[in-house]
């Protein structure tokens, strides 16, 4: 999604400059705009274009009619109700409008918390690093997620995937609702590239909007698509109707309205409550072609692309030029939104676009690095996004962490970074998100949307910052639908009975025991009942004695609400509290409390602080509503994180009221929400109500279902032959693959893996996910040595691998998880060395321990305390063998009949495999070097004449495309001297099968893992690239490794073998007939890193050990990006 070319501000600047006196002409130099007069000036209207004065271009007309007659203008009035200047141009400044201004909507409150929409780029899992699969989205921060994009087939007008792998992602994307059912997942159709003039889909939107026959085909396809994949709505991203440079046609203006109305009717006819939205640009140039007034009546809301206001495209715009400017700017956004206010668009139907990315430039002069300075090109491509002129939030955060210079423009609400001498990028972070959210709230906007949730970092830092800015904290996406059973207690509405499925809680105090309730926020004799499920009913009592009340609940009770009277005499000071026995249905209530005591609750114009570990969900002068009011400051509603109360807002008429503060307040909540607090502030009569979705509880149906699944899996924690799926093959057909399981059915196992992958992600967590995580640890994790924290750590080791694959690999270990994880972590701690303690705050290189000192000090490398304890429990004789693609263990073959990486290494060391080639490769992210070593599998009677013990057994094309090779990738950071010997420092090793050579100018073994055949075995990871730990093959002797674990022992033997055979030495990388790489100067750690120059891979060669002759040839610039996608 991108909104390019002329921004709202540049449009106005353009229009403001078109004053007649500013342009001159002659018979040989016509006017750029307007008619040329005999006086040598350019202008429009009868004085300039009339026959008595005009000498050229006399047929030109003005944009609008300032009063000189419609024969001299294209249209009588300006699009979007902007003003017509006296020169016949359209604009919005005082030059055009004089003293006439537009009053924007104005509000107090948090209207923008209503919706937080995240777009997910379907290609984000194909990046070489910073990959994001659907399960990695911090879903607790969003109310809606839009999958970007699907296309429309230009021949059949059916919805078609943007790439072949997208249908598999559709199911994973919508499956996020299996953990978060309040989340809505939408499909976004279109995008910038669909209308590119060189694409077959360039005019498809125009053709669709202009043909009822095409629409009938599209609607049928759309309804089938939504039903098949479980999407909740459609977002149309047509960029852009009418505009000729975007393949538009004049008829698009009216046809778009007709198409949307017909589409809405088709969606309604389905019997589902499908949503419909469109994106609109922030520039007048493109927005003028949208009939926003008519469209607003049809759709649910507008998603405003209030980003990409500037970029490298400015350099070709003669009215802007090659001058750096931020891609987002609150001043320009305000001008753009004024186009909507001119047309009386309801701000609740407007969603403000924010960017989790930045637009970058290369400065012409490094010393000139502020907006307005000249740029020569887009900024250098990021290592992960690999797009000139664009950096993701994650990439920018790394630049900032490395010390790049950051400045803030508080007027524009944007930050700017100068880095690498002549590079410049603008972006948003927590500070500027808050500025924009404050603006959105003050203008009553109905939400925010993000391009893109998938450019966030792995921790969800941008989403977390946005959530803090909206005040929503971790917004719940788990509120139950109306058809779900209600499993939590809630306060009812004044004077009404409890909702269906709930009954009044009973009082346990006094003689007249009866229904529990409160009159807080009600008028007359009305009261609110405290309503709970009948199968989990607490008893309640009011605590605090009048007249000097100091109500406090006892241990084992939860505080529900407060009142100055309760059911008895009124308090002169303080207040009473309604206390109920803590049960599953009201346990969540104990997660929050009010902080601050009247009359001085906090500093002036401030709210009370929350204890450490809690955050304020809202604030109020009256606390829950029945307390003594604050004279100074306000009370804070403090909750544990994530909070049990979700999707909250203040309501005054049962729904948000924008504009002036309402005078007569009803204190009611919208359907599906319950009141948490009331406050009369700002109301002449009645109360405002703070309303939230019902809190999740331990008997929440989703939590209960998850508990059932994990209990069933715990009774039989194994994966049968052919059952593994996510780590083995394409996602489609998973149900068939999993049907062999009897203890846990296929659908439940699929859901379990998806839920677990979300829970272990650790970002954007919701209260319900925390409950699920606790259940997982107590039911399964503790018994099998596989807690949520362990899974999360494993994710961190392999940040670019599919988390579903990682989860499945770990779960299928069953009882052997403890052994695997202890051996896995033990191997890293035993063979990975910190050769530069100074880099992590330790001693300088000159005082770092030698090899002998290392073992004298440690005996072995230090293992983390948790894994030290686990290792003592591990029974090495019980290690299960696993397959190469999952690498859970090192020995022999697994129950699927598939080989382990350890089996491969043993065969290599024993001389049973012949090297096909070695090759040095610059990894696709351009930041590290990979040594690729390919061995031929041993011969035998299997497919292709290979020993079947070394081949995967289950692939469907095993006979026609058999495994013939095993490939090892050694991710190498540097060369350094270790004990007098130069050795390569390796931070990760992966292995995979290969079937044949791929194409290209210099063929290599095809290691593309898109189909699952060549999935990576996670052999070793000393830490993420750029860390402090490295493996130096050949450094440890067999005697050193005698006390190592099995995994580390085999790695030591493997390293020693490769060094002895000349496979893995310095000459491998730098030899004149081998890698031919140059080394940079020695750095402060004693490291020499590789200088690739303009090359990206070496020629293929053989080891240079005795008896083997090296091949000849030089480096190559050929590269196969998909071949090096190792997930490291």
pLDDT in tens, 48-80: 999 999 999 999 999 999 999 999 999 999 999
pLDDT at 66: 95
CA separation (Å) from 293 to 217, 264, 343, 742, 890?
Answer: 27, 16, 7, 57, 66
Backbone angles phi, psi at 224, to 5 degrees: -65, -40
- Looking at the domain 111-470, which fold is it? TIM Barrel (3.20.20)
Mean pLDDT confidence for 907-926:
88
Q: Which residues contact 980 (CB under 8 A, 6 or more apart)?
A: none
* 620 pLDDT more than 60: yes
* 259 pLDDT more than 80: yes
The tokens describing 847, both together, are: 């005082």
Q: Residues 332, 351: contact at Cβ < 8 Å?
A: no
* 416 pLDDT more than 90: yes
Mean pLDDT confidence for 872-888:
34
* 532 pLDDT more than 60: yes
- In SS3 terms, 875-942 reads as CHHHCCCCCCCCCCCCCCECCCCCECHHHHHHHHHCCCCEEEEEEEEECCCCCCEEEEEEEECCECCC
The single residue listed with the structure tokens 């035998």 is 940
* 151 pLDDT more than 90: yes
H or E segment at 361? strand 357-363
* 339 pLDDT more than 60: yes
The tokens describing 533, both together, are: 């499920």
**E strand intervals along 474-613:** 490-491, 502-504, 506-507, 517-518, 528-533, 539-543, 557-563, 576-581, 592-595
Q: 824: helix, coil or strand?
A: helix
- DSSP labels for 653-692? SSS---SSPPSB------TTEEEEEEE-TT-SBS-EEEEE
pTM, 2 dp: 0.70
The span from the first CA to the last CA of the chain, in angstroms, equals 29
**Core vs surface per residue 431-459: b (16+ CB within 10 A) or e:** ebbbbbbebbbbbbbbbbbbbbbbbbbbb
Who has greater pLDDT, 625 or 171?
Answer: 171
- Look up residue 1100 and give its DSSP letter: P
Cis peptide upstream of residue 33 (ω within 30 degrees of 0): no
Who has greater pLDDT, 1109 or 455?
Answer: 455
CA 705-708-709 angle, 5° bins: 90
pLDDT at 514: 76
Instruction: Name the residue ranges covered by the structural domains of the chain.
Output: 19-88, 111-470, 490-649, 701-812, 850-1067+1094-1124
pLDDT at 335: 94
Q: Residues 752, 760: contact at Cβ < 8 Å?
A: no
- Look up residue 247 and give its DSSP letter: T
Backbone angles phi, psi at 1101, to 5 degrees: -145, 175
Q: Residues 699, 748: contact at Cβ < 8 Å?
A: no
**How far is the C-alpha of 18 from the C-alpha of 43, rounded, in Å?**
9
Mean pLDDT confidence for 769-793:
86
Q: How confident is the model at residue 307 (pLDDT cuts 50, 70, 90)?
A: very high
pLDDT at 764: 56
With 0-12 CB in 10 A as exposed, 13-18 as middle and 19+ as buried, what is 730? Answer: middle
Q: 1092: helix, coil or strand?
A: coil
């Amino acid at each position: 999604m991108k909104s390019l070319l002329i921004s709202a501000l540049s449009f106005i600047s353009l229009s403001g400059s078109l004053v007649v006196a500013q342009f001159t002409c002659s018979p040989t130099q016509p006017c750029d705009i307007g008619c040329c007069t005999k006086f040598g000036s350019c202008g429009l209207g009868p004085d300039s274009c009339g026959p008595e004065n005009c000498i050229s271009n006399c047929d030109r007309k003005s944009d609008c009619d300032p009063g000189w007659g419609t024969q001299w203008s294209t249209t009588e009035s300006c699009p979007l109700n902007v003003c017509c200047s006296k020169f016949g141009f359209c604009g919005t400044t005082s030059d055009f409008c004089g003293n006439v201004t537009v009053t924007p909507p104005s509000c107090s409150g948090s209207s923008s918390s209503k919706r937080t929409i995240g777009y997910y780029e379907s290609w984000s899992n194909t990046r070489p690093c910073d990959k994001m699969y659907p399960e990695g989205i911090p879903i607790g921060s969003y109310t809606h997620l839009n999958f970007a994009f699907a296309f429309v087939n230009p021949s059949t007008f059916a919805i078609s995937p943007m790439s072949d792998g997208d249908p598999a992602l559709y199911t994973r994307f919508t499956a996020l609702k299996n953990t978060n059912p309040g989340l809505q997942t939408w499909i976004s159709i279109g995008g910038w590239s669909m209308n590119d003039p060189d694409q077959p889909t360039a005019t498809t939107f125009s053709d669709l909007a202009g043909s009822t026959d095409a629409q009938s085909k599209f609607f049928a396809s759309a309804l089938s698509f939504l039903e098949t994949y479980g999407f909740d709505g459609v977002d149309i991203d047509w960029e852009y109707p009418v505009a000729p440079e975007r393949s538009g046609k004049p008829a698009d203006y009216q046809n778009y309205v007709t198409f949307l109305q017909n589409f809405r009717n088709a969606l309604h006819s389905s019997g589902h409550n499908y949503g419909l939205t469109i994106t609109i640009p922030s520039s007048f140039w493109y927005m003028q072609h949208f009939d926003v007034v008519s469209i607003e009546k049809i759709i649910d809301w507008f998603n405003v692309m209030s980003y990409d206001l500037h970029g490298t495209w400015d350099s070709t715009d003669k009215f802007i030029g090659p001058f750096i400017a931020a891609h987002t700017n609150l001043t320009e956004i305000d001008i753009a939104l004024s186009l909507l206010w001119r047309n009386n668009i309801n701000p609740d139907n407007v969603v403000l676009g924010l960017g989790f990315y930045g637009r970058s430039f290369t400065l012409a002069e490094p010393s000139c690095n502020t907006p307005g300075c000249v740029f020569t090109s887009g900024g250098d491509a990021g290592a992960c996004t690999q797009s000139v002129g664009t950096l993701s939030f994650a990439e920018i955060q790394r630049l900032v962490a490395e010390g790049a210079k950051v400045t803030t423009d508080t007027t524009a609400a944007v930050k700017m970074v100068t880095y690498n001498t002549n590079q410049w990028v603008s972006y948003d972070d927590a500070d500027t998100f808050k500025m924009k959210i404050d603006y959105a709230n003050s203008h009553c906007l109905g939400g925010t949307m993000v391009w893109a949730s998938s450019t966030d970092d792995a921790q969800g830092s941008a989403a977390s910052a946005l959530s803090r800015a909206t005040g929503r904290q971790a917004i719940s996406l788990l509120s139950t639908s109306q058809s779900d059973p209600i499993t939590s207690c809630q306060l009812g509405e004044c004077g009404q009975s409890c909702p269906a499925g709930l009954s009044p809680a009973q009082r346990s105090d006094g003689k007249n025991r009866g229904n529990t309730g409160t009159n807080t926020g009600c008028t007359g004799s009305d009261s609110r009942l405290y309503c709970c499920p009948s199968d989990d009913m607490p008893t309640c009592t009011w605590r605090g004695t009048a007249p000097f009340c100091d109500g406090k609940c006892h241990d084992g009770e939860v505080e529900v609400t407060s009142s100055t009277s309760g059911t008895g005499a009124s308090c002169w000071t303080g207040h009473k509290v309604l206390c109920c026995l803590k049960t599953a249905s009201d346990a969540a209530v104990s997660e929050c409390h009010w902080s601050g005591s009247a009359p001085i609750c906090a500093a002036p114009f401030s709210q009370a602080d929350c204890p450490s570990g809690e955050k304020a969900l809202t604030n109020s002068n009256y606390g829950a509503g029945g307390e003594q009011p604050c004279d100074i400051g306000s009370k804070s509603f403090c909750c544990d994180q994530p909070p049990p109360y979700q999707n909250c807002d203040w309501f005054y008429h049962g729904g948000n009221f924008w504009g002036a503060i309402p005078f007569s307040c009803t204190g009611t909540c919208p359907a599906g929400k319950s009141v948490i607090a009331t406050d009369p502030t700002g109301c002449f009569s009645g109360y405002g109500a703070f309303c939230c979705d019902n809190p999740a509880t331990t008997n929440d149906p989703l939590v209960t279902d998850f508990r059932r699944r994990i209990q069933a899996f715990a009774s039989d924690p194994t994966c049968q032959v052919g059952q593994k799926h996510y780590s083995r093959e394409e996602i489609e057909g998973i149900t068939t693959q999993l049907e062999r399981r009897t203890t846990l059915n296929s659908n439940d196992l699929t859901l379990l893996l998806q839920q677990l992958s979300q829970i272990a992600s650790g970002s954007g967590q919701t209260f319900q996910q925390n409950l699920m995580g606790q259940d997982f640890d107590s039911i399964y994790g503790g018994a099998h040595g596989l807690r949520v924290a362990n899974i999360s750590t494993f994710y961190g080791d392999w940040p670019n691998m599919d988390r579903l694959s990682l989860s499945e690999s770990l779960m299928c270990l069953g009882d052997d998880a403890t052994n695997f994880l202890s051996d896995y972590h033990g191997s890293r701690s035993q063979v990975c060395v910190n050769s530069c303690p100074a880099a992590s705050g330790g001693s300088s290189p000159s005082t770092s321990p030698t090899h002998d000192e290392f073992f004298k000090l440690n005996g072995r490398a230090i293992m983390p305390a948790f894994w030290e304890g686990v290792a003592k429990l591990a029974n090495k004789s019980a290690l299960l063998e696993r397959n190469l693609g999952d690498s859970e263990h090192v020995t022999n073959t697994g129950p699927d009949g598939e080989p382990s990486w350890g089996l491969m290494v043993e065969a290599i060391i024993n001389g049973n495999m012949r090297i096909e080639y070695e090759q040095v490769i610059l990894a696709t992210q351009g930041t590290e070097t990979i040594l690729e070593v390919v061995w031929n599998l041993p011969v035998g009677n299997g497919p292709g004449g290979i020993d079947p013990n070394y081949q995967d057994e289950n692939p469907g094309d095993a006979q026609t495309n058999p495994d013939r090779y095993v490939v090892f990738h050694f991710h190498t950071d540097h060369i350094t001297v270790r004990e007098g010997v130069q050795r390569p420092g390796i931070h990760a090793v992966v292995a995979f099968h290969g079937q044949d050579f791929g194409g290209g100018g210099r063929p290599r073994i095809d290691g593309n893992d898109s189909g699952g055949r060549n999935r990576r075995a996670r052999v070793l990871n000393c830490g993420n690239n750029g860390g402090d730990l490295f493996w130096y093959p050949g450094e440890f002797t067999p005697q050193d490794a005698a006390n190592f674990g099995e995994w580390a022992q085999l790695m030591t033997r493997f390293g020693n073998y490769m060094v002895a055979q000349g496979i893995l030495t310095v000459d491998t990388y730098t030899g004149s007939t081998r890698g031919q790489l140059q080394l940079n100067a020695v750095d402060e750690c004693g490291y020499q890193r590789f200088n690739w120059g303009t090359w990206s891979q070496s020629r293929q060669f053989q080891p240079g050990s005795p008896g083997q002759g090296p091949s000849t040839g030089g480096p190559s610039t050929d590269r196969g990006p998909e071949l090096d996608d190792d997930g490291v």
